[in-house]
Chains A and B, each alone.
Chain A
C-alpha cells in the first residue's frame, strides 16, 4: 500500500477563498483523522470518522470548517471562507479499529496551507 495520500502538498490561497484538502486513507483502515498542526497549538485533532461516519467533530474550530467522507477511500476537509489564521499544516491519518489490535495511526505527508 502507498500509505495515506494527501493532496495538495502545498496550498497558497487568498483570504476569503474556499480551500479543499483531500485524503486517501490506507485501504482497510476503519478510522480516518484530520489534524491541524501549528506552532502555537501543536497537533490538534479536528475530526475523526469511523467507517465513514463522523464520530467527533468537537475539534473543528468553527463553522467555516467542514469534513466529509463519502466512501472508505476518500475524505475532504473544506474551509470556506479561508482566513489567514487558518494557515497551518493539515494532516490526515488512518488506523485500524478495536481493542487488542494494533491501532497505530499512519499519517500522510500533510498539506501546508498558507492563507494570505
Chain B
C-alpha cells in the first residue's frame, strides 16, 4: 500500500523568508501524481501545486515550487517570500488511478 510521510508536524517562518516542507512517499508504481494541499483555518482544502511523476521538471506555481526526487521518493514544497496568508496546515498527497493517500500534515506558522 502507498504511504505518505510528513516528518515535520510544525514549522515556522518569518514573513518574506523561505521555508521548505518535506514529504516522502512509498510506492511500487511508476506513474502517479503528487500534490500539496493547503488547509487554512477555514478548513477548506485548497490545491497548491501538483507534480506528474513522469515529468522530471519540478512544478512551480508563483511563490510555490517543489523539489521532486523520484528515485528518493521525496517531494518537498518550497514557499518563497512567505506571507501571513500562507499560515495553514499543508498536506502532501499521492495519487494513482484516482485514489489519494495523504500525509499527516505540517502546520505552518508565519511570523510577522
Q: Which of B17-40 contact A (CB under 8 A)?
A: 31, 33, 35, 37
A100's nearest neighbour on chain B, judged by CB, is B31
CA distance A91 to B95 in the complex (A): 17
Interface residues on A, range: 20 to 34
SS of A interface (majority):
strand
Q: Which residues of B contact A103 (CB under 8 A)?
A: 33, 95-98, 100
Interface residues on B, range: 20 to 34
CA distance A91 to B37 in the complex (A): 14
Contact status of A107 and B95, CB under 8 A, knowing A33-B100, A43-B105, A99-B31: no
Q: Which residues of A contact B105 (CB under 8 A)?
A: 42-43
Q: Which residues of B contact A89 (CB under 8 A)?
A: 43
CA distance A103 to B95 in the complex (A): 7
